[in-house]
Amino acid sequence: MTLARRIIPCLDVHAGRVVKGIEFEGLRDMGDPAELATRYNCEGADELVVLDISASHQGRGTFLETIRRVAEQLNIPLTAGGGIRTMEDGRAVLRAGADKVTVNTAAVKRPELLFELAQQFGAQAVVLSIDVKRNGDSWEPYTRGGRDATGRDAAEWAAEAVSRGAGEILLTSIDRDGTCSGFDCELTARIASTVPVPVIASGGASTFDDFLAVFTGGRADAALAASIFHTATQSIGRLKKFLAERGVPVRLSR
Amino acid sequence: MKIAIVDYGAGNLPSVERALAKLGADTERAVAPGQLACAKAIVLPGVGHFGAFVNGLRERNLTSSLCGALDSGKPILGICLGLQAMFASSEEAPGEPGLELFPEEVRALPTNVKSPHIGWNQLRRVHTSKLLRGIPDDAYFYFAHSFAAPASAQYTVAACDHGFPFAAVIEHNNLAAVQFHPEKSGETGAQVLRNFVDSVP
């Protein structure tokens, strides 16, 4: 009997479409969220994350509609977030069909939000998202999509967030994101050994070996990736088989 | 007659509704005791806080009709917090009585394991299970919880380990309950719900 390590595809959504941010070029269209969700559900994804990368108030209705369309396709858990500022924002996302909500910038500004969400929906529904940059020997959380430095230490913020109600940490390395150079295993191990809740590693995934590394040395409970799955360069089924053959407990589809 | 899904004012009911609808089951959300009396089976889903959950049931006068339905022999399925609520009490809400169908106390997962217990885990079969019929022994189920009922509870048919052995599936006559989320457990979870729907006359 083993708790399986999770493979989580992520859909970055803008104006109702899955997109990929390309440096200096803007956004590239990667497809329809519901269609990708259907594919991942069939391929053996353990969970799905949908993030509103525009995170604007104007686009809120469109994003909630996207959550509804995606949730209809799934028989696995769905996490949604991006621009969640208040408990009402969180409630709207959960009502639309998400099982968990992620918060980032608003929780740094007002950490009580984590407690309020956990009190209302349970800690298992509250995912704190931390975007981290390495500064020498330490890691610093950034907000507003990596634009604003917080002046804090990532491990210290993660521990505080858990004490305030976060039930899971979605940890993204800004340095690695989009680089295809592998997860920051050192960062992931550091946070995973600090907090008593599951840690989802994100940023930099490219090869099957990257996933193996983050589940072993990186001590991650789950690993998240976006574009490598969208473009079908890597299939979730083959990835899980690869991990299983190397002793990582994963849920294999039948 | 329909399968009533108890609506206590929180929780992700659409996913349970959708999962049952895919199996061809006819469901309705029950907010009033009369609806439970008329239903041919009852699903009690739950997420969130034990205290808020049992209070939500009491405020809607649903507790006595749930117990009435139990006596009448209607199939009842509790999910996640719906399982925990069947016990006498929970460390999550000290002093707040549950439905008291089982005498044990629901306990917090210990600090030597990650809590919440989130993710896909396997079960250890203790007795023959109607809900798990046709499901391989090594199948995975999706869990998301910080509290659990001890596996020593009398009607545990399958257990799971996370910090301590806890009740993952309970079955007693027409009453069944699962700590995992069948509606989120892929095809395996769909089979659990199918087994429940098949037990509905």
Best residue of A124, A191, A200, A248 to probe chain B, by most B CBs closer than 10 Å: A124
- Which chain A residue is nearest to residue B186, measuring alpha carbons? A75
**Percent of chain B surpassing pLDDT 90:** 89
Rounded Cα gap, residues A100 and B109, in angstroms: 20
Average pLDDT, chain B: 94
The two structure tokens encoding residue B17? 């509704």
- Which chain A residue is nearest to residue B137, measuring alpha carbons? A1
Mind telling me how many Å the CA of A118 is from chain B's nearest CA?
A: 8
Q: From chain B, which residues contact A within 8 Å (Cβ)?
A: 10, 12, 14-15, 18-19, 47-49, 111, 114-124, 136, 140, 142, 144-146, 160-162, 181, 183-187, 189-190
Mind telling me how many Å the CA of B188 is from chain A's nearest CA?
A: 9
Query: What domain range includes position B37?
Result: 3-198
Is residue B88 pLDDT above 70, yes or no?
yes
Rounded Cα gap, residues B29 and B35, in angstroms: 8
Q: Which residues of chain A are under the pLDDT cut of 70?
A: 22-25, 55, 254
pLDDT of residue A59: 79
The two structure tokens encoding residue B41? 């089976």
Please tell me whether residue A81 adopts helix, strand or coil conformation: strand
Q: What is the CATH number of the domain that holds B98?
A: 3.40.50.880
- Which chain A residue is nearest to residue B21, measuring alpha carbons? A72
pLDDT of residue A58: 73
**Percent of chain B surpassing pLDDT 70:** 98
**Percent of chain A surpassing pLDDT 70:** 98
Mind telling me how many Å the CA of A80 is from chain B's nearest CA?
A: 14
- Beta strand A148-149 with A138-143 is antiparallel
Contacting residues of B for A72, CB less than 8 Å apart: 18
Give domain limits for chain A.
6-245
pLDDT tens digits, B123-142: 999 999 999 999 999 999 99
Report, as residue numbers or ranges, the catalytic residues of A. Answer: 12, 131
From the list B14, B122, B183, which residue is nearest A2 (CB)?
B122
Residue range A6-245 in CATH 3.20.20.70: yes
3-state SS record for B162-186: ECEEEEEEEEECCEEEECCCHHHCH
How many beta-carbon pairs under 8 angstroms link A with B? 99
Contacting residues of B for A38, CB less than 8 Å apart: none
Please tell me whether residue B14 adopts helix, strand or coil conformation: helix
pLDDT of residue A35: 96
From the list A1, A74, A121, which residue is nearest B121 (CB)?
A1
pLDDT tens digits, B2-14: 999 998 866 668 8
Q: What are the CA-CA distances from residue A49 to residues A67, A81, A99 (Å)?
A: 10, 8, 10
The residue type of A26 is G
Contacting residues of A for B7, CB less than 8 Å apart: none
- Domain count within chain B: 1
Please tell me whether residue A168 adopts helix, strand or coil conformation: strand
Mind telling me how many Å the CA of B11 is from chain A's nearest CA?
A: 8
pLDDT tens digits, B133-178: 999 999 999 999 999 999 998 999 999 999 999 999 999 999 999 9
pLDDT of residue A56: 72
pLDDT of residue A126: 97
Residue B181 is among the residues annotated as catalytic for this protein: yes
From the list B48, B111, B121, which residue is nearest A3 (CB)?
B121
pLDDT of residue A136: 85
Note whether A124 contacts B118, CB cutoff 8 Å. yes
From the list B161, B187, B189, which residue is nearest A1 (CB)?
B161
pLDDT tens digits, B43-63: 999 888 899 899 989 999 999
- Which chain B residue is nearest to residue A222, measuring alpha carbons? B119
Helix runs in A122-226, H state only:
154-164, 185-194, 208-215
Q: Determine how many CB atoms are found less than 10 A away from the CB of residue A162.
A: 21
Note whether A75 contacts B189, CB cutoff 8 Å. yes
pLDDT of residue A26: 76
Note whether A4 contacts B120, CB cutoff 8 Å. yes
The answer to whether the beta carbons of residues B35 and B61 sit under 8 Å apart is no
pLDDT of residue A22: 67
